[in-house]
Structure 1
């Protein structure tokens, strides 16, 4: 089991990193994603390239959501506008905290 430290927590998004193997874990509600540091940068780039209002679609629960495809073609993630903002804020904060911990 990894010994993690929290890098960011915003809304339902919680990001931590193993102090030894450097893997990054992103929890969002019932979803857990694992990233290398380079993968997290790519994930951030993907988030920044999409503007919520340009990609949002109405869902059966009457909420507008953005669909984000995963590397597994059978699995896609959906985010409301608030969840999208929380995810982006958490990723930005996590990347900043990685830099802070690297300086310590």
Structure 2
């Protein structure tokens, strides 16, 4: 049975993991993605190499957003600039806390 622990929460970005199976969950609004620890690290590194202003576009509602493709090609995240910052900060903090948990294991 999964023992879900919150790693970080920043506004709409909530990242947690299972202490037993090590699955990492990214919860954002009504979307949940599951990652292995390695895939989560790769996804984080991909986001870290993207700049909001280089990737953003104006959506029909007039808001600037960046589109980030998830590991599932049919699902993409869209982030406003503040949501983008929150997600990147949450993922960075979550990785640090994962490392702490790994040292304690």
TM-score, scaled to structure 2:
0.92
Aligned residues: 104
- The alpha-carbon deviation at position 27 of structure 1 amounts to 0.3
Q: Which runs of 5+ in 1 are unaligned?
A: none
Task: Tell me what 1:23 maps to.
Answer: 23
Rounded to whole Å, the distance in 1 between the matches of 2:99 and 2:53 is 31
Rounded to whole Å, the distance in 1 between the matches of 2:79 and 2:96 is 23
Rounded to whole Å, the distance in 2 between the matches of 1:21 and 1:54 is 36
Rounded to whole Å, the distance in 2 between the matches of 1:53 and 1:16 is 28
Q: Which runs of 4+ in 1 moved over 3 A?
A: none
Rounded to whole Å, the distance in 2 between the matches of 1:73 and 1:43 is 13
Tell me the C-alpha RMSD between the 2 structures: 1.2
Q: Which runs of 5+ in 2 are unaligned?
A: none
TM-score, scaled to structure 1:
0.93
